[in-house]
Structure 1
Amino acid sequence: MNYQQLFSLQGKTALITGGARGLGKAMAEALAQSGANIVIADMEVASAEKAAQELASFGGKTLGLQVDVTNEEQVKTMVERIVSEFTELNIVINNAGICQKITVEEQSLEDWKKTMDVNVNGVFLVSKYTGKQMKAQGGGSIINVASMSSFIANTEAQCAYNASKAAVDMMTKCMASEWAGDRIRVNAIAPGYMKTDMTKPIFAPGGELAHVLDLVPLKRLGEPYELGGLAIYLASEASSFVTGSTFIVDGGYTIW
């Protein structure tokens, strides 16, 4: 068995939603370095195009697109555009998401719906249309971004986020079951507390969530690149017998 070939994504096309920065961009870079063509889809088209241009340095074809994952027509058009330019769509990372730290009694129904719209409906819509394309072409890999909060309540108030990510975990199982016969594998990555430009100040000494690191057995935040290896594994033939699974990457937080 040639394991380098098993993990190769040469010639494959990958879509990463919310991929212009942070964890999405880190996973996109991992796939690009493994040979994949990369499509970055983000609400901010300038950021998506900039990220795509940067990832082109790894040798694959890239494209930056604007998309609102809660808008069905935009999602449908996005998939059609990708197929017209790349012929196939082999890998999808459903990374777009939001988190609002609001207590239950203070959260408006509008805010609750916004979280569910992006984190749940967005995953549904992107999976629906990319899944149709993968079915027509004979298979593919969908990777949903869940969270360790799919399984725990956390220490801060974020009921809507946790509920939405629990839904992503179950959607992953249901989609994997429905599409197993079509050679479409559906799995999820569930990050814990990760270090991004947005979160670093929160977890710094004296920050709002600095105390949380005491609850992480490895005593640190995760680095975005630490999701990359798992993304390559789930996107490639190395995980050909894996579907319906959610992989927790949290420094051990959910052990306790």
Structure 2
Amino acid sequence: MYLEKLKLDGRVAVVTGAGQGIGAACARALGEAGATVVVADMRQERVDACVAELAGLGIAAHGLALDVTQSAAVDAAAADVVARFGRVDILVNNAGVAVSDVRAEDTSDSHWRHHMDVNVDGLFWCCRAFGRRMLEQGSGAIVNIGSMSGFIVNKPQPQSFYNASKAAVHHLTRSLAAEWGARGVRVNAVAPTYIKTPLTSFGIKENPDMYKVWLEMTPMGRVGQPDEIASVVHFLASDASSLMTGSIVVADGGYTCW
């Protein structure tokens, strides 16, 4: 009974920013659970590489070049997915940016807008477009990738723009969950710690002093791996979490305990 709830056979899952890191891990996790996976990323070469890798594992995968900041393109993508597969059951909003270590007083308009365009606006365009399809069919699960930075202020790197964008993701998650819960669509989020991906390379690979602080601030004494977040996403996308909506699941190695 319980293992059956984790299976995703017959479901169609869309993962944004799926070309690398957490997104690629989520695509594989959902595919291994039985879902047909739509790999969406703004860079075609990443899409192609991820689709090829999934296909090599026997996972049904379809590629989609998508810039989530373009609302019309997102609407077209949702229409394309439903036309191709007849439905959409899962949306993982993973596409995001983090160009950190910029002080608030030095943050340009363009730097602020870049983070809001991708992390907040793009996420909402996807929730709106794919959420409409889920509401029409009366079922669906959306999982947003937030951050522990939506709860705390990181140190030593200044990144007020990023922190604000992820706090917005968390509250948007709760707002959509409240609006759509009675109509069969669940909306949850994962709030990760530092994960070993290209987005965190500025600290892990390039700034040993910063990385030292990150580890000292984390009770488990390490950064996370993409598959550790993908496992939580899989749970939230599956029937194993059927009573959960509006939840922000913190996966931070204990970082926010202190």
TM-score clears 0.5: yes
Counterpart residue type for residue 105 of structure 1:
E
Offset of 1:208 from its aligned partner? Answer: 5.0
Whole-Å separation in 1 of the counterparts to 2:96 and 2:183: 27
Counterpart residue number, 1:231 = 233
Counterpart residue type for residue 181 of structure 2:
A
Counterpart residue type for residue 158 of structure 1:
Q
Counterpart residue number, 2:170 = 169
1:65 partnered with 2:67: no
Preserved CA contact (<8 Å) 2:31 2:60? no
Q: How does 1:31-46 map to 2 (within 5 A)?
A: 31-46=30-45
Q: How does 1:45-64 map to 2 (within 5 A)?
A: 45-64=44-63
TM superposition outliers: structure 1 runs of 4+ over 4 Å:
none
Gaps of at least 5 residues in structure 1 are none
1:202 partnered with 2:203: yes
Counterpart residue number, 1:74 = 73
Whole-Å separation in 1 of the counterparts to 2:12 and 2:177: 20
Counterpart residue number, 1:106 = 106
Whole-Å separation in 2 of the counterparts to 1:206 and 1:130: 39
Whole-Å separation in 1 of the counterparts to 2:144 and 2:153: 20
Preserved CA contact (<8 Å) 2:98 2:199? no
Whole-Å separation in 2 of the counterparts to 1:213 and 1:138: 44
Whole-Å separation in 2 of the counterparts to 1:133 and 1:72: 15
Alpha-carbon spacing, 1:199–1:110, altered in 2? closer, same or farther (3 Å): closer
Counterpart residue number, 1:149 = 149
Residue aligned with 2:105, SS: coil
Q: CA RMSD in A?
A: 1.4
Counterpart residue number, 1:253 = 255
Counterpart residue number, 1:89 = 88
Alpha-carbon spacing, 1:98–1:206, altered in 2? closer, same or farther (3 Å): closer
Counterpart residue type for residue 134 of structure 1:
M
Question: Please, what TM-score do these two structures have when normalized by structure 1?
Answer: 0.96
Residues paired across the two proteins, number: 255
Residue aligned with 1:189, SS: strand
Counterpart residue type for residue 136 of structure 2:
A
Preserved CA contact (<8 Å) 1:18 1:24? yes
Residue aligned with 2:171, SS: helix
Whole-Å separation in 1 of the counterparts to 2:99 and 2:203: 14
Structure 1 range deviating more: 27-36 or 47-56: 47-56
Structure 1 range deviating more: 29-38 or 48-57: 48-57
Residue aligned with 2:8, SS: coil
Counterpart residue number, 2:223 = 221
Question: Please, what TM-score do these two structures have when normalized by structure 2?
Answer: 0.95
Residue aligned with 1:164, SS: helix
